[in-house]
Amino acid sequence: MKVIAAMSGGVDSAVAAARAVDLGYEVIGVHLALSSNPQKYRSGARGCCTIEDSHDARRAADIIGIPFYIWDMAEEFHDGVVEDFMTEYAAGRTPNPCLRCNEKIKFQAVLDRARALDFDAVVTGHYANMRETEFGRTMHRAVDPAKDQSYVLAVLNKQQLDGAIFPLGDSLKTGVRKEAKARGLYVANKPDSHDICFIPSGNNAGWLRDRLGSEVGPIVDEDGKKLGEHQGAYTYTIGQRRGLNLTVPASDGAPRYVLKIEPKTNTVVVGEHESLAVTGIEGDRAIWCGPVPSVGESLRGFAQVRAHGSPLACTYTTPDGSLISVDLDEPLYGLAAGQGLVIYDGDRVVGSATVSATR
Amino acid sequence: MPIYFDHAATTPMVAPAVEAYQDAMLQIGNASSLHTFGRDARRRVEEARETIASVAHCEANEIIFTASGTESNNLAIKGLYWNAVSADPSRKVILISAIEHHAVMDPAEWLVEHEGAELILLPVLPTGEIDLVFLSNLVASRGSEIALIAVMHSNNEVGTIQPIDEVVEVAGDIPVHTDGVQSFTKVPFNFSKLGVTTATISAHKIGGPYGVAALLVKHGLDITPILHGGGQERDIRSGTLNTPGIVAFAAAAKYADTYRQQNAEKVNQVKSALKEEILLKIPDARFNGTGMDQLPGILSVTFPGTESDGLLLLLDGEEMATSTGSACSAGVQQASHVLIAMGLSARDARSSLRFSLSPSNTLADVKRLGEVIEGVVAKSRASMGYK
């Protein structure tokens, strides 16, 4: 079997590529150039195309002993991920660009190209497990709970998952680092990436303001009373408490949280913590990682709405296969439209949807 | 056996150069030292200089040894610009062809960004030949503002040979630099007849070692240096002379010059066969820059509907080395500015591959390529959704 190992220049993808070789695959390493301005040097950066990262990926490929190439995916990344990120924020939603990147770039643009060039699959350093179960080949949580990335992979449909290999799913991160060291990969101690890769400063609000402009608007309470002003509604997220700079204190002195963002009127609505409570979630753009659950049937499972959020016991149903409706057993506090809603059956990923409304 | 079709990137050292290199590496002595060892090293450097001078048809003292073609081009572009501006501050225009190598293009752009130079790119015709009418008009209208003109002797991506003698004639008193890295020893290259002010040549493109090159500088011209130090090369270039490299450079130049005619014939024959084979298997393939005088060893091919880095990957998998043009420092392939300047669309430029040959390539290599090229192109087209 011939596979493409996507190599970011970090430790996980390097070990994943090495393990793919051990598994007997014919492996070719590919570094994805995702930035249209690759000349910029960012020390310790990960994910986007930088000189240092592409060099690290190349050296890892040398040590593993596989061919190595760089694929320019800057245009696809910009159109599919960065543009989407901006459009979603401008519409008052809170997108997760890593989900979009897996869906549109790593397991679409790259996988399609790999398949056309006669490769069978794409290997990545994601922490998730593919297993043969009664439902066929299905995706499950990784063994390392701190590193589990099944949430950001839940946007992959069955056909995409059939072309995906995740060799790290049964390992702990500490073990992967040790293994990297033992294999002589000098990226063994390279720090993990946390920021959004195309916003290296980590200042998401500033980045959005630079691109979407900054228009002052009102911050109001649930009754519509103005409490302060903001510098652009899209730089806030539901549940946010800090950075509101309200001029009118709450009557009971309790902290206030962002409840709603109304992009049309450029208004941010704030209120007490209790008002953030959500017991029902509606999602659209449903994607099923395995078999589609029977339409209309109420099923028990767990919902997760953030990359490292807790799984919340719930009853879910899909009225038509493209929408998911969730009733949570216990309320969840703070959920924004645009976030990814992922449904689990135990540790098996059932599928995902994009949050469109909350109850 | 892997097949190497990338001799314009670098080509293996020839036996006489390896021998000269090994021999010189075992000799002691800094060519600038005054004792017997030093004088002996200096003698070998000067003999090498004379050998190269006889091949390049220049005077020995017109050769400034450097560490790379890039350094030579930087020295020429920056040095000539600084010379011109210090003599006449209104000479701030740098005129270079649109198809220059980055080693010429980037120092010119650097002078624009840092020293207020004005850069004008000399357009080329679809054959890759520079537009002499544009050049004449520009020299007629703004000649007094032009600091220097740079036109490469032949292009590294498509092989087109430029009419340098005509450039020099049009330029009149304006200094002309030519990057001769691809031409030297492959086609007639006569520094004194060309009449250029400066020219770059490099060892590793002709069967010599890496890390040694030269700038030929017209006798009597003191070009402003970019490296300062011991002043080893007539105060124009500082740095300990690379005696083994220079000696091997000379051996390679002499060897290539001796066999130039027969090498060119052999390479041309293989190139013709390669063109035929490609057209037979991929009838809509197009060759770039073939309407003009060409270097024997370079063939640029556009395979419509493909992506060149996919082609390269697949051919590499078949143990055949080709080139896609230049990449940025992070390794991302760029659409060739040369092909775009020649009028190709960005899409076609990104569907192009360069084959570059040496006398070591054979008709059997062509046959092997013929066996795989159809499948390779079909896969790349499928990856692009090309019908």
Domains, chain B, ordered by start: 15-257 (3.40.640.10), 259-383 (3.90.1150.10)
Q: Are residues A242 and A117 in the same domain?
A: no
Q: Residue A69: what pLDDT?
A: 94
CATH code: domain of residue A300: 2.40.30.10
Q: Are residues A39 and A92 in the same domain?
A: yes
Q: Choose, out of B332, B333, B380, the residue to mutate when testing the contact with A (most A CBs < 10 Å).
A: B332
User: Does the pLDDT at position A41 exceed 50?
Assistant: no
Q: Do B310 and A33 touch (CB under 8 A)?
A: no
B 11-30 near A (Cβ less than 8 A): none
A143 in any annotated domain: no
Residue A83: beta bridge partners? none
Q: Which domain holds residue A234?
A: 214-271
Q: Residue A284: what pLDDT?
A: 95
Residue B381 dihedral angles phi and psi, to the nearest 5°: -65, -40
Domain boundary among A225, A253, A271: A271
Residue B372 with chain A: CB contacts under 8 Å = none
Q: Where are the beta strands (DSSP E) in chain A?
A: 2-6, 26-33, 68-72, 121-123, 129-133, 136-140, 164-165, 217-220, 226-230, 257-262, 267-271, 277-288, 299-304, 312-317, 324-333, 340-345, 348-358
Q: Are residues A55 and A97 in the same domain?
A: yes
Element (H, E) at B251: helix B243-258
A122: closest CA of chain B, how far (Å): 15
Q: Residue B326: what pLDDT?
A: 66
* pLDDT tier for residue B329 given thresholds of 50, 70 and 90: low
Residue A45 with chain B: CB contacts under 8 Å = none
A7 in any annotated domain: yes
Q: Residue B334: what pLDDT?
A: 77
pTM, 2 dp: 0.88
**What proportion of chain B, given as a percentage, has pLDDT over 70?**
98
**Closest Cα in chain A to B334:** A72
B77: closest CA of chain A, how far (Å): 23
B317 touches A: beta carbon within 8 Å: yes
The better pLDDT of the pair B117, A203 is held by B117
User: Does the pLDDT at position A17 exceed 70?
Assistant: yes
Q: Do A39 and B312 touch (CB under 8 A)?
A: no
Q: Are residues A30 and A89 in the same domain?
A: yes
Catalytic residues of B: 328
Q: Are residues A262 and A353 in the same domain?
A: no
Catalytic residues of A: 101, 197
* pLDDT tier for residue B328 given thresholds of 50, 70 and 90: low
Q: How far apart are CA B80 and CA A219, in angstroms?
A: 63
A118 touches B: beta carbon within 8 Å: yes
A42 in any annotated domain: yes
Amino acid letter, B329:
S
- Provide the token pair at A39: 């000349």
A53 in any annotated domain: yes
User: Does the pLDDT at position A249 exceed 90?
Assistant: no
Q: Residue A84: what pLDDT?
A: 93
Q: Are residues A49 and A177 in the same domain?
A: yes
Q: Are residues A113 and A58 in the same domain?
A: yes
What mean pLDDT comes out for the span A88-117?
91
Q: How far apart are CA A148 and CA A171, in angstroms?
A: 10
pLDDT single digits (tens) B190-242: 999 999 999 999 999 999 999 999 999 999 999 999 999 999 999 999 999 99
Q: How far apart are CA B125 and CA B69, in angstroms?
A: 26
Q: Do A67 and B380 touch (CB under 8 A)?
A: no
**Closest Cα in chain A to B375:** A117
User: Does the pLDDT at position B95 exceed 90?
Assistant: yes
User: Does the pLDDT at position B387 exceed 80?
Assistant: no
Residue A288: beta bridge partners? A351
B265 touches A: beta carbon within 8 Å: no
User: Does the pLDDT at position B96 exceed 90?
Assistant: yes
Element (H, E) at A245: none
In total, the C-beta contacts within 8 angstroms joining chain A to chain B are 56
Q: Are residues A228 and A184 in the same domain?
A: no
Q: How far apart are CA B303 and CA B379, in angstroms?
A: 12
Which of B313, B330, B331 is nearest residue A117 as measured by Cβ atoms?
B313
Domain boundary among A228, A246, A271: A271
A131 in any annotated domain: no
User: Does the pLDDT at position A198 exceed 90?
Assistant: no
Q: What's the number of CA atoms in the CB half-sphere (13 Å) around residue A260?
A: 17
Q: Which residues contact residue A113 at a Cβ distance below 8 angstroms, ignoring those fewer than 6 apart?
A: A71, B310, B383
User: Does the pLDDT at position A46 exceed 60?
Assistant: no
A201 in any annotated domain: no
A319 touches B: beta carbon within 8 Å: no
Q: Are residues A300 and A326 in the same domain?
A: yes
Q: How far apart are CA B47 and CA B379, in angstroms?
A: 53
Domain total of chain A: 3
Q: Are residues A94 and A54 in the same domain?
A: yes
A196 in any annotated domain: no
User: Does the pLDDT at position A45 exceed 50?
Assistant: no
User: Does the pLDDT at position A252 exceed 80?
Assistant: no
Q: Are residues A236 and A302 in the same domain?
A: no
A330 in any annotated domain: yes
**What proportion of chain A, given as a percentage, has pLDDT over 70?**
96
Residue B312 with chain A: CB contacts under 8 Å = 69
User: Does the pLDDT at position A62 exceed 80?
Assistant: yes
- Lowest-pLDDT range, A82-91, B69-78, B273-282? A82-91
B89 touches A: beta carbon within 8 Å: no
* pLDDT tier for residue B293 given thresholds of 50, 70 and 90: confident
Domain boundary among A271, A304, A319: A271
User: Does the pLDDT at position A109 exceed 70?
Assistant: yes
CATH code: domain of residue A234: 2.30.30.280
Residue A332: beta bridge partners? A278
Residue A58 with chain B: CB contacts under 8 Å = 331
A246 touches B: beta carbon within 8 Å: no
Q: Residue A52: what pLDDT?
A: 84
Q: Residue A39: what pLDDT?
A: 45
Amino acid letter, B27:
Q
ipTM of the prediction? 0.85
Q: Are residues A22 and A100 in the same domain?
A: yes
